[in-house]
Amino acid sequence: MKKIILIFTLVLLVVSCKEEYVFNTEFTTPTALSSPTAVTINVASVNNIQLSWTGGAAASGMVIYEVLFDKVGGDFSNPVYRSFSDLGVDTTFTLTHALLNTIARKAGIGTASTGNVIWTVTASKGGEVRNSNLTKEISVTRGAGIDYTGTTLYLYGTATENSGAGAQEMRKAADGVFVAYTKAEVNGNYFFKSSTTATDAFLCYSDETGKILEGAGTYDVTANATDEVYRVTVDLNTQKMTIDKIMNIKAIWGATFDVIGALTYQGNGIFKADNCTVKFIMSTRPETNPPSWLGWTEERYYFTANINGVDKCFGRRDAVSPERPLGTESATFYELEEFAWSQWDHLWKMKSTLDLTKCTITVYTNKDGLIMHEFSNVVPLP
């Protein structure tokens, strides 16, 4: 009898457990949407735009929300933009001005004009998606400016190192920001195109103040001497072009400032130094000029460059001096970034196999979309 009661009790427990964990897909959609009625876009603004809604919920568990944007008159079947809400389950969606500017562009609102976009929210749970059947309209005013969102830009003009015979590809440093290093001819000019072949390529230039303008035109460049190396930066977000004079790029030891290699410009954005002697700094190697305080092997290095007359550091993108690389690192490990010069920040350590060698040190300002450096032609010291 006790056995029967025990078995019956276990069956009841199993049944009750199964009932307790039945997945409940019951949920409701939002009943009210809230957002600003009008926004004037400032892509540089750090003040975000908040969209929110109320009324959506689940009988148990959480609801997933997705926000859809469309042109006025659209039915959201082919939205111009869609994204999950904040964290996917929050009843809010945070928009930056830059993102709203992109949405407005996709909705057909041109620069320096005002138009409307609409938005809605869908709710889902357990694979079932329900529309809220609500829409909210936002009036968006876009600023004047350059409306190019492509990923390529090319430097043209008689002031480039090919004297106008062709294009030089610019590195995309960030969305809307393009950079090229080039030799300058005296009394030449610059302009920019998005393609080397397309007849309808985006075309822009800088006026004499450095402001980027869309269309055909040129910026006059007057170099102090032939073959000066310039860094040309085009920021379409701020509509600004800057030109920096680049001189004296060197690879140096962090501990002593001694030069490992003085790099010269090779063309096409490449700087190089051949036959560089590499000897790690040690107290037992007086020829390496070891500091009196040195009690270990010192192999940390970085690059310096004179930019517009000021010495800058071309170093690691973070401030960490890592352990010696093993040779399996990705190209981004050797990526450079410009910093104010500081002796013990933004250094790399050299691979152990570089000690007591001669090598070539190369800085590429546009290799696979990176500004980076490498060691090659490594041979043992005689």
Banded pLDDT at 92 (limits 50, 70, 90): very high
Is pLDDT at 95 greater than 90 in this prediction? yes
What are the helix (H) ranges across the chain? 2-20, 97-106
Is pLDDT at 42 greater than 90 in this prediction? no
- For the chain, which residues make up each domain, given as ranges? 27-141, 154-238, 247-380
Is pLDDT at 370 greater than 80 in this prediction? yes
Read off the amino acid at residue 200: D
With H, G, I as helix, E, B as strand and everything else as coil, classify residue 54.
Answer: strand
- Tell the residue number behind the tokens 């006790």, with chain if given: 2
Banded pLDDT at 25 (limits 50, 70, 90): low
Q: With contact defined as beta carbons under 8 Å apart, do 201 and 194 qualify?
A: yes
Domain 27-141 is found in CATH 2.60.40.10:
yes
Report pLDDT for 44: 73
Is pLDDT at 13 greater than 50 in this prediction? no
What's CA 374's distance to the chain center, in Å?
A: 22
Q: What's the CA gap between 69 and 260, in Å, rounded?
A: 56
Return mean pLDDT, the chain: 88
- As beta bridge partners, residue 379 has 358
Structure tokens at 85: 């809400």
Q: What is the mean pLDDT of residues 344-368?
A: 94
- As beta bridge partners, residue 69 has 81, 119
Is pLDDT at 310 greater than 90 in this prediction? yes
Report pLDDT for 320: 72
Contacts of range 304-311, beta carbons closer than 8 Å, 24 or more positions apart? 304/248, 304/249, 304/250, 304/252, 304/341, 305/246, 305/247, 305/248, 305/249, 305/250, 305/338, 306/246, 306/247, 306/248, 307/231, 307/244, 307/245, 307/246, 307/247, 307/338, 308/244, 308/245, 309/245, 311/341
Distances (CA, A) of 43 to 48, 95, 97, 99, 237: 10, 11, 5, 8, 8
Distances (CA, A) of 188 to 52, 82, 195, 346: 54, 46, 21, 36
Report field, pTM of the whole predicted structure over 0.85 = no
Four-residue CA torsion sign, 56, 57, 58, 59: negative
Q: Which residue has the higher pLDDT, 29 or 218?
A: 218
Report pLDDT for 150: 86
* Residue 232 phi, psi (nearest 5): -105, 120
